[in-house]
Structure 1
């Protein structure tokens, strides 16, 4: 599966243009198919697990999910979802009132979506952006999540 290339205007080198505005910077941040998400998909696929991406009819639209086996994985950016104790989850120094409220709402929304999935009988796991940097560690993390699912299920031992 090839990468989708967005129709983005050609930008001259930094030395030949004005700095990007905050709006332009934020407009370049993707919500789907990010590098951490692609790494997580690759790790899950490498251990032989089948899944669907961005399942719209589940609460929170999980990044990876299997409705038949009742599991969901969210891949969260450390900044956008306020990863506790992570250096990548820095607090903006400008417009702090706006950002504090926004990041707090993101955390609250995440908790609501995860609880709604649990109420539906799903096992939920969150993979943080910083965890995706080491591919071997990421593979061990997701393998641990799936081995925990196997031990909790009464059905067949293969969870793919």
Structure 2
């Protein structure tokens, strides 16, 4: 378990490299202190636009398309991954309540499709369309 990185994973680095190559500047893994004493540490943050990006690994976050559970101690892993999914949902709720936009990307959507999604949402946040 110690060999599994909590940050700077391959998919995170690939996304950040792609975003940086496209001229975007951001913060990586900053701690955001939210109301109620909640703390969240997104993988990539655009503070001015209040955009938080999380990169979720298929195994650890329970991707329905690519996940596989180990055969040994399956109930432990099922419970652990479900706990991770619940924590993910709670963090999104805290951030959105604080006025942040949140993107969760699967590792299998990186780097290009994920980077394109981030760019599109950033563009929408930077250039909101006037309501008619």
Question: What TM-score comes out, normalization by structure 2 length?
Answer: 0.83
Q: 2:7 aligns with which of 32, 35, 42?
A: 32
Q: Which residue of 2 aligns with 1:136?
A: 112
Higher relative contact order by CA 8 Å / sep ≥ 6: 1 or 2? Answer: 2
Deviation sequence 1:36-93 (CA, Å, 0-9, x none): 0001111222232221111113442000112222110001111000112x22x11221
> Which protein has the larger Cα radius of gyration, Structure 1 or Structure 2?
1
Which structure features the higher share of strand residues?
Answer: 2
Mark the runs of 5 or more structure 1 residues left unpaired by the alignment.
1-25, 155-160
1:79 corresponds to which of 59, 69, 89 = 59
From 72, 81, 85, the counterpart of 1:103: 81
Measure how far apart 1:97 and its partner are: 1.5
Number of aligned residue pairs = 125
Query: Are 2:96 and 1:121 equivalent residues in the alignment?
Result: no
Counterpart residue number, 1:93? 71
Describe the superposition over 1:110-154 as per-residue Cα deviations: whole angstroms up to 9, x where unpaired.
Answer: 00001100011001001111112xx43333232223233234477
SS in 1 for 2:103: strand
Give 3-state SS (helix, strand or coil) of 2:102's partner.
Answer: strand
Secondary structure, aligned partner of 2:54: strand
Unaligned runs of 5+ in 2: 34-38
Q: Name 1:65's counterpart in structure 2.
A: 45
TM-score, normalisation: structure 1: 0.70
Q: Distance in 2 between matches of 1:118 and 1:138?
A: 20
When the two chains are superposed, the root-mean-square deviation of aligned CA atoms in Å is: 1.9
The question of whether the paired residues in 1 share the 8 Å contact of 2:26 and 2:45 is answered with yes
